[in-house]
């Protein structure tokens, strides 16, 4: 043995056998080291298991709601609040819209579904009540009250065909009353002219007066072509009926003013000229109005030609 405990090479070992001798000498040492390593490995495993047993296991983290879920909850709360407020304020159509949104965002929300059904039932009843009130007002001739009721019905149900149809009828009646008022004014002017020349007014017999009234009524009702045709026929048959011709001219001229007010200047000019021809001369202020309108039309035509 050497000083450090290792084997000493015999002096008789030859140079070529040194490797074999070294392997045989080291083998027992390697076996001892392997045994010790196995012992140490077992001890290390035991120590590691003991250490793991002492380390506390962390509890599972609590689930945190996602940002998308929070945003959904905020949207549901927002529309629910709006629906409740609008329902309290009486805006049933708006409340129904927001309850429907809540139902779409939260399909399992039975409260929202029930509230939506209640609001829709209230809307249906409100529309029914307003339609009945509007129809009653329309039959009694109260167009303003009827229009208000129909507008309330449309506010509850914008797609309600009956309310929309009734409003169109109310507008038609208003227009008819406006035209009748203007016609009455023109008739009053014509009657004043009749008083100035009673002898001429008495030249037409009862049959001619009927023809005159029929032509005027047809013209006032909106049949411009047919009315002008009958009125011209009357004038040709009664050229000396000054009062009748003045009435005709006044009615036709008034229709021309309506057309001009609506922007139909060409049609207005034609009616103005027809009024002068049927009356036999121009009424007070007619000539100036006709000349001014002709200038406006000429200027408008010139501007249109200059435009690229």
Would you say residue 178 has pLDDT above 50? yes
pLDDT at 137: 86
Q: Domain residue spans in the chain?
A: 71-159, 178-306
pLDDT at 21: 47
pLDDT at 209: 74
| Third-level CATH fold of 71-159 | 1.25.40
Would you say residue 101 has pLDDT above 90? yes
Would you say residue 121 has pLDDT above 70? yes
Q: What angle separates helix 143-156 from helix 92-105, to the nearest 10 degrees? A: 10
Separation of alpha carbons 39 and 47, rounded Å: 12
Q: pLDDT class for 276, splitting at 50, 70, 90?
A: very high
Most confident range (mean pLDDT) of 54-58, 143-147, 215-219 is 143-147
pLDDT at 221: 80
More confident residue, 37 or 289: 289
Question: Tokens in use for 306?
Answer: 């200059």
Question: Tokens in use for 285?
Answer: 């202020």
Separation of alpha carbons 28 and 89, rounded Å: 101
Would you say residue 29 has pLDDT above 60? no
pLDDT per position as a tens digit, 197-208: 544 445 445 556
pTM: 0.37
pLDDT at 259: 86
Contacts of 93 (CB under 8 A, 6+ apart): 123, 155, 156, 157, 158
* 3-state helix/strand/coil string of 152-216: HHHHHCCCCHHHHHHHHHHHHHHHHHHHHHHHHHHHHHHHHHHHHCHHHHCCCCHHHHHHHHHHH
Helix H or strand E encompassing 52: helix 18-54
Separation of alpha carbons 135 and 187, rounded Å: 33
């Amino acid at each position: 043995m050497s000083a450090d405990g290792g084997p000493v090479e015999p002096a008789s070992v030859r140079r070529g056998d040194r490797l074999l001798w070294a392997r045989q000498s080291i083998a027992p040492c390697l076996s001892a080291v392997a045994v010790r390593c196995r012992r140490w490995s077992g001890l290390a495993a035991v120590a590691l298991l003991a250490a793991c047993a002492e380390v506390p296991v962390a509890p599972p983290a609590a689930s945190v709601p996602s940002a998308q879920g929070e945003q959904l909850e905020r949207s549901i709360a927002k529309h629910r609040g709006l629906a409740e407020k609008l329902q309290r304020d009486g805006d049933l159509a708006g409340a129904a819209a927001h309850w429907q949104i809540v139902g779409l965002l939260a399909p399992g929300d039975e409260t929202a579904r029930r509230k939506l059904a209640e609001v829709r039932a209230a809307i249906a009843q409100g529309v029914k009540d307003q339609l009945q009130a509007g129809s009653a007002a329309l039959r009694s001739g109260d167009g303003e009250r009827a229009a208000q009721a129909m507008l309330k019905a449309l506010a509850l149900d914008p797609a309600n065909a009956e309310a929309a149809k009734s409003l169109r009828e109310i507008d038609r009646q208003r227009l008819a009353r406006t035209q009748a008022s203007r016609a009455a004014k023109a008739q009053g002017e014509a009657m004043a002219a009749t008083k100035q020349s009673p002898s001429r007014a008495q030249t037409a017999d009862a049959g001619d007066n009927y023809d005159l009234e029929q032509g005027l009524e047809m013209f006032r009702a909106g049949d411009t072509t047919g009315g002008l045709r009958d009125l011209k026929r009357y004038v040709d048959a009664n050229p000396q009926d000054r009062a009748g011709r003045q009435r005709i001219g006044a009615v036709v001229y008034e229709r021309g003013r309506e057309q001009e007010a609506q922007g139909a200047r060409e049609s207005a000019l034609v009616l103005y000229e027809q009024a002068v021809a049927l009356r036999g001369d121009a009424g007070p202020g007619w000539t100036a109005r006709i000349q001014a309108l002709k200038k406006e039309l000429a200027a408008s035509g010139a501007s249109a030609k200059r435009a690229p």
